Amino acid sequence: DVKLEKLRLKSDALDKLRLPVDIKEGWLGTLTISIPWSNLKGEPVRILIDNVYILATPRFQENFDPKREEEREYKDKMRRLENDDII
């Protein structure tokens, strides 16, 4: 098992969910990943997240930053293109 603690969330970590909020701060208390190395094809990889803290604010038009929004759209587009290439 791999166990990571006190991980800081990036401010754009939830952008692909297209929520009407801006993430100001975020933490994961514990992230545990269990990989069944001896049977990768037969058993699932398990990911356990404990103690999630997110400080978010509504995304208002007066706080609208065109450059940041353009960057978000670009990242979203690249993510969708990558997903299309995989399939």
pLDDT tens by residue, 22-78: 889 999 999 999 999 999 899 999 999 999 999 998 877 666 678 888 888 898 888
Task: Name the phi and psi angles at 11, rounded to 5.
Answer: -65, -20
pLDDT value at position 61?
62
Can you read off the two tokens belonging to residue 52? Answer: 């999630």
The answer to whether the predicted template modeling score (pTM) of the entire model surpasses 0.85 is no
Higher pLDDT, 46 or 18: 46
State whether residue 17 is helix, strand or coil: helix
* Residue whose entry in the numeric block shows the structure tokens 């404990």: 50
Distance, in Å, from the CA atom of 46 to the CA atom of 24, rounded to the nearest integer, reads: 28
Nearest by Cα to 5 from 27, 37, 35: 27
Distance, in Å, from the CA atom of 6 to the CA atom of 30, rounded to the nearest integer, reads: 6
